[in-house]
Amino acid sequence: MSLELPLHGVRVVALEQFGAGPFATLNLADMGAEVIKIEDPHTGGEVSRFVPPYRLQGDSLYFQSWNRNKRSLALDLRKPEGKEVFHDLVRIVDVVFNNLRGDQPAKLGLTYEALGHINPRIICCSLNGFGSRGPKAAEPGYDYLMQAYAGYMSITGDPCGPPAACGVSFIDHAAGFAAAAGMIGALYAVQKGEKGGNVQVSLVDTAYSMLSYLAIWNLNRGFEPKRYPGSAHQTLVPVQTFRTADSFLTIFCGKGKFWELLCEAFEDPELSADPRFSGFEPRFKNRDLVIEAVQKHFLRKTTAEWLEVLAGKVPCAPVRSLTEALSDPTLHERGVVVQVEHPRFGVLREVNTPVRFGEPRKDHAHAPTLGHDTVAILKNDLNYPDARIEALQQARVICF
């Protein structure tokens, strides 16, 4: 592949905030797309700029994490002059993206029905909580709500405790990936000569789609998943976390040979020969007996000792703290952590998006200050004369 990033030349206008939306366009920006964030100059810009704990005036590490390699246009879309600027942008870009509430894009004129006459090739992508139709379309949607609403919390956590949420906003991020994939798919269709159109992604649909095998079991056979100790898999045994002599270890015996190799590592031929544990179905039926036997063995050694014994034989991993996980030296070797120069925060280390094209990209730019690119976009991209830019500023339609 050439050194040029694959989305170089693609231009995206984004009305976005918080996690799912900015994460969607971050993936596009890291692949070379020009992402222009439209931010409200009267509110101080996108709300993520104000999220603690690590904040400066008008900026935060929270905001920086999702807005690398983007541009900022501070524009008031409520004013007619602001709408004119927005429509001029629509003429020269490829995608208009938003993650507003499901009822808002049509009201604000962000759909293909409203913008297709301006640019027939425009792609209008909406990422929202509950879709653009139906009784919940006007409701705001957030990751934590979706983990509750789509059933995730009911199957997460210790069975003796309350339902639990995942410690990171994974539905937000998954929906961001889905939206990025949808936009890239639509861009490919336009490249083949088709017209633009609407791309719809919702948090709730993303959450339901990831229920996958649990959903097909439930919908067709009434399977009701449970919470098991050790965050165990619903049906594969043993696939879970075990206590060792000093901490915790997670194993994945997802194939028959891994069970045999685990019994070998335990030096327990009787366990291997026991007919009650001789296949997926018997181990599932005798889950409690399997777990009891395996747990006794794991308590004999430390996690480090077991990792040495099981390495290359049984899939396993230590349960690491976030600091331990992010201190792994291989992250830098694989380009998982990138460095970005920031004028006020200094050198920032950030996690990269996961798609690689050849060598990892090294020219990352920090997330922009509010309105940082306003003048450049109006002057160089839209060819506005200085007098018009000054008039827009005096009318408080823009700021920079």
Q: Annotated catalytic sites, by residue?
A: 172
Query: Is the bond preceding 105 in cis, omega lying within 30 degrees of 0?
Result: no
Which stretches within the chain are classed as H helix? Answer: 20-30, 61-66, 80-92, 104-108, 112-115, 143-149, 170-191, 203-209, 212-221, 256-266, 269-273, 280-285, 287-298, 303-310, 322-326, 330-333, 374-376, 386-394
**Amino acid letter at 189?**
A
Scanning the structure block, which residue is given the tokens 């830098």?
A: 332
| Cβ neighbours, 10 Å, residue 40 | 19
Do 60 and 49 touch, CB atoms closer than 8 A?
A: yes
Scanning the structure block, which residue is given the tokens 């990936």?
A: 177
Q: How far apart are CA 18 and CA 15, in angstroms?
A: 11
Q: How far apart are CA 119 and CA 94, in angstroms?
A: 9
Q: How far apart are CA 45 and CA 292, in angstroms?
A: 55
Long-range interactions of 268-272: CB distance < 8 A, separation 24+: 268/293, 268/297
Q: Copy the structure tokens of residue 331.
A: 């992250």
How many CA atoms within 13 Å lie on the side-chain side of 320?
12
Q: How far apart are CA 351 and CA 358, in angstroms?
A: 18
Q: Helices 287-298 and 256-266 sit at what angle, rounded to 10 degrees?
A: 40
